[in-house]
Amino acid sequence: MLLKTLLNRVHPVKGFVYGDDRLVEDRSAVNGARIEVALRPRKGSRGYCSCCGRRGPTYDTRAARRFDFVPLWAIAVVLVYAPRRIACRRCGVKVEWLPWCAPAGKGSMTIAMSLFLSTWARRLSWKQTAEAFAVSWESVYRAVQWVVSYGLKHRDLTGVTAIGVDEVAYQKGHRYATLVYQLDEGRRRLLHVSEGRSVKSLLRFFVMLRRAGRSRGADLLGGIGFVCSDMWRAYIKVIRKKLPAALHILDRYHIVANVNKALDQVRADEARQLKAEGWDVLKRSRWLLLRRRRRLSGKQRWKLRQVLQWNLRTVRAYLLADALHALWEYTSPTYAGRFLDAWCRRAMRSRLEPIKRIARSLREHREPIVNWFRAKKRFNAGIVEGLNSLAKLRFRKAFGFRTFSAIEVALYHELGQLPRPNLVHRFC
C-alpha cells in the first residue's frame, strides 16, 4: 500500500492509476526478486493514438508488458501494463501512446529509468553505472541515447556568436571526430560532433545549423562573428566559405601544442643520437623541457639548468620555444605581429628542421594568429581561452568506446548542456 502512495507521489501518470503491487521471486534478478506494480487506465478515460496523438475509443487490449522502473533497495521495479489499441479515426487501429515511455520507443524502459541511468552515467562511467544498477551496458547506452536525442531536439541554438572547431583522435589515434563548440561567455557547450576531419565533417555542422534555423524561422549562421580553430586546412577552407565575414582566430592552445611537438621531435632525435655516442644528458628530460618553467619543482629546475648549459640542438629549440611564450602577453595586435615576424626570422635561421616547419606555418597563418589579439582586445574572454579549457574535459569517459555513435552520444551527454525532460520527482 505504501508503494502505491509513493508511486502516486513520485511518478503520477495522468489518465492511469496504480493497482496492486507484489514481490515476484526472480532468480535472474539481483537479490533474487523484483517488484511488480500493476498500472491500468483510469475508468472512463480514453487512450491517445500513438500516431497522431488524438484520443480515440479502445479497440482491444494487448497482452501485458513490463516496463523497467527505478529500482528500490537494489530490487528491480517493473510497471505492468496491458496497452490498449485505439481505433483512431485518422490512422486506423493503433497502439496507444504510453506517457511514461519514450515517444515511439519500442523499448521497455520508462522515461524515469532512462533519466535515472543517464544521470548516473555522468557521475560514473557507463560500465560502473551498469554494474551499480544491475543492468546491461546496452541499457545504459540506450538510456543516455534517448536523453541525448530528447535534448538535441529541444535545445535552443539561438544566440551563438562564437564557435570553436576542433578535431579529436580516438581509437588510439586511428580515427578522428570533428567537434564544434559554442564559445560564448557563460554558454560554453558542445554543439556538434561528426565523424572524420574532412571538409564534409565540418560541413555537416553547417547543414545542421541551417536546418535548425529554418525550422525556427531564424538565421542562426548570421550571428556567428568569431570562429576559433586550429591550422587544419579542411577546416580553414570550410570556415572561409561558410563564414566569410567572421573573424577567424587561430587557437592559442593548438599553436603551443604544435611548438611543443616540434621541440619534442628535436629532443627525441638528438637523445637517440647522443645515446648511441654513450652520453645520456637528455635522458628523462622530456617533461623538464615541455613543462612551463614555473610549474617545475626546485629539483626539476636544477636538473633543467644542467641540461641547458650544454650547446645542444635541443637547448636551442627549447630557448626558441620558450621565447615564443612571450607572444601571448601582448595586447596590441600590431606589436604581437611584429614579435611573431621577428621570432619566425630567428627560427628560420635555427637550422632545426621541425622548428623551421613551425615558423613557416606560423607565417602562413599570420592573420588568424594576430586575430587572436584583436579578439582579446575587443571581445570576451571566452573566445580567447578558446578550446583549451574544454579540451581537458572532452574525452574523459568517451575514450573507451568502440563505435563512433557511442562516442557521439557520450560527448553530447557530457558537454552538450542539453535540456532534459521534466519529471515530478528527482530520483537521484
Output the smallest distance, CB 49 to Zn ion, in A.
Answer: 3
Region of 83-91, 141-149, 209-217, 322-330 interacting with Zn ion (CB under 5 A) = 83-91
Nearest to 162 by CA among 279, 274, 246: 246
Nearest to 41 by CA among 24, 16, 20: 16
Q: Where are the alpha helices (DSSP H) in 183-330?
A: 199-216, 233-242, 252-276, 286-290, 298-308, 313-324
Q: Which of 90, 283, 378, 425 binds Zn ion (CB under 5 A)?
A: 90
| 221 in contact with Zn ion (CB under 5 A) | no
Q: Which of 91, 134, 208, 256 binds Zn ion (CB under 5 A)?
A: 91
* SS3 of residue 21 by DSSP: strand
In the window 34-73, what residues touch Zn ion (CB under 5 A)?
A: 49, 51-52
Nearest to 324 by CA among 306, 310, 348, 342: 342
- How many residues form the binding site for Zn ion (CB under 5 A)? 6
Quick one: 51 or 308, whose CB is closer to Zn ion?
51
Quick one: 55 or 200, whose CB is closer to Zn ion?
55
Residues 1-40, mask of contacts with Zn ion (x by CB under 5 A): ----------------------------------------
- For residues 51 and 104, the answer to whether their CB atoms sit within 8 Å is no
Output the smallest distance, CB 98 to Zn ion, in A.
Answer: 15
Output the smallest distance, CB 91 to Zn ion, in A.
Answer: 3
Region of 58-66, 82-90, 128-136, 166-174 interacting with Zn ion (CB under 5 A) = 82-90
- For residues 256 and 240, the answer to whether their CB atoms sit within 8 Å is no
Output the smallest distance, CB 105 to Zn ion, in A.
Answer: 17
Output the smallest distance, CB 61 to Zn ion, in A.
Answer: 18
Quick one: 19 or 92, whose CB is closer to Zn ion?
92
Quick one: 91 or 274, whose CB is closer to Zn ion?
91
User: What's the CA angle centered on 249, arms 243 and 252, to 5 degrees?
Assistant: 150
Positive or negative: CA dihedral 105, 109, 112, 114: negative
Instruction: Tell me the residue type at 321.
Output: A
Q: How far apart are CA 225 and CA 245, in angstroms?
A: 7
Output the smallest distance, CB 142 to Zn ion, in A.
Answer: 26
- For residues 152 and 189, the answer to whether their CB atoms sit within 8 Å is no
Q: What is the four-CA torsion angle of 240, 242, 245, 250, rounded to 10 degrees?
A: -50
Region of 85-93, 172-180, 275-283, 385-393 interacting with Zn ion (CB under 5 A) = 85-93
Helix, strand, coil content of the chain in percent (nearest 5)? 50, 20, 30
Output the smallest distance, CB 90 to Zn ion, in A.
Answer: 4
Output the smallest distance, CB 39 to Zn ion, in A.
Answer: 22
| 88 in contact with Zn ion (CB under 5 A) | yes
Residues that bind Zn ion (CB under 5 A): 49, 51-52, 88, 90-91
